[in-house]
Amino acid sequence: MKERRSPLRPDGEGKGAWLAALEQGANLLQSTEPMKGFDVYVVGFHCVKDGPDEQMEAHHYCKVVNDDLLQCVLFDGNTRDANLIGIEYIVSERLFEGLDEDEQAYWHPHNFEILSGQLVAPGLPDVAEKAFMKQLVNSYGKTWHTWHTGRHDGRPGHGLPVGEPKLMWSFNREGECDEALKDDRARAMGVDVERKRAERQEFVPLARPQRGVDAMKEQFAGTTPIPGVVDRPPGRG
């Protein structure tokens, strides 16, 4: 698996001797049990809901709680220096349908991310990645970014996590995600989106209309829908 370093070094000075001693003691004596199990790794793209120009690559480290729920910690890279930028909860269609309409508006649909080939699981064998993506068809994510550290294509971010957390959204048509952002990841990580898209076309018959597909439709120009990604108006099951 190829390394993807953070696009930004946070504000602040280097680690002092006190921190080295703390880390050594923590490694020997403290437990990190809550962090165990966050070992499913996927990479995708997010934009701020109602902020189409604020786009970012997000590295998800997820824990499978059960067949209907995943909990993910988000970073801006996959190396030791990666910055923590947010969280995402992923629920099945079944759990999503149990939420009231106001709550559903916080959750973005996943079918485009899967069927377009944009969502990938680096390092996972093709067979395992495909099986995992099939499991995610018709699922939804609730994502908050607490830090915009910048885009890997060179657009600057903030040296600290300033401002309010931002609700993020998924892309739902070709042409919504900045091509420079996609191309940069493809070069750096060797991601072949078109191949993955072709391999996942067998999932199209499984995809059902999802709420939120059209939530930002009017905020993007010159976009193209793909088979299997259809909007479902609120209040309709």
Structure tokens at 228: 């299997």
Q: What share of the chain is helix, strand, coil (3-state, %, to 5)?
A: 30, 25, 45
- Is 91 a domain residue? yes
Residue 22 lies in a domain: no
For residue 150, give the DSSP letter.
Answer: B
Q: Which of 57, 177, 41 is nearest to 120 (CA)?
A: 41
What tens digit of pLDDT does each residue of 211-231 get? Answer: 999 999 999 999 999 999 999
- Which one has a higher pLDDT value, 18 or 159? 159
Whole-number pLDDT of residue 24: 64
Output the six-digit token pair for 75. 């970073």
Is 236 within the bounds of a domain? no
Using alpha carbons, select from 114, 117, 68 the residue that is nearest to residue 93. 68
- Residue 155: give the domain boundaries: 41-219
Is residue 31 over pLDDT 70? no
Q: How many residues does the chain have?
A: 237
Write down the pTM of the prediction.
Answer: 0.91
CB atoms within 10 A of CB 34: 8
In which band, very low, low, confident or very high, does the pLDDT at 207 lie, cut at 50, 70 and 90?
A: very high
- The pLDDT assigned to 126 comes to 94
- The answer to whether the beta carbons of residues 113 and 132 sit under 8 Å apart is no
Residue 110: name the closest of 65, 83, 72 by CA.
72
Q: Is residue 204 part of a domain?
A: yes
Judge whether 15 lies within some domain.
Answer: no
Q: What's the N-to-C CA distance of the chain in angstroms?
A: 40
Tokens 């999932």, located at residue? 203
- What is the domain count for the chain? 1
Residue 6, domain member (yes or no): no
- Assess whether pLDDT exceeds 70 at residue 40: yes
Question: Cβ distance 121 to 61 under 8 Å?
Answer: no
pLDDT over 70 for what percent of the chain? 92
Q: 2 in a domain, yes or no? A: no
Mean pLDDT, rounded, of the chain: 92
Number of C-alpha atoms within 13 angstroms, CB side, residue 1? Answer: 15
Which pLDDT score is estimated for 234? 84
pLDDT at position 231, please? Answer: 98
Q: Is residue 12 part of a domain?
A: no
- As given in the structure block, the two tokens for residue 132 are 């995992």
Residues 6 or more apart whose Cβ sits within 8 Å of residue 69: 89, 90, 91, 92, 95
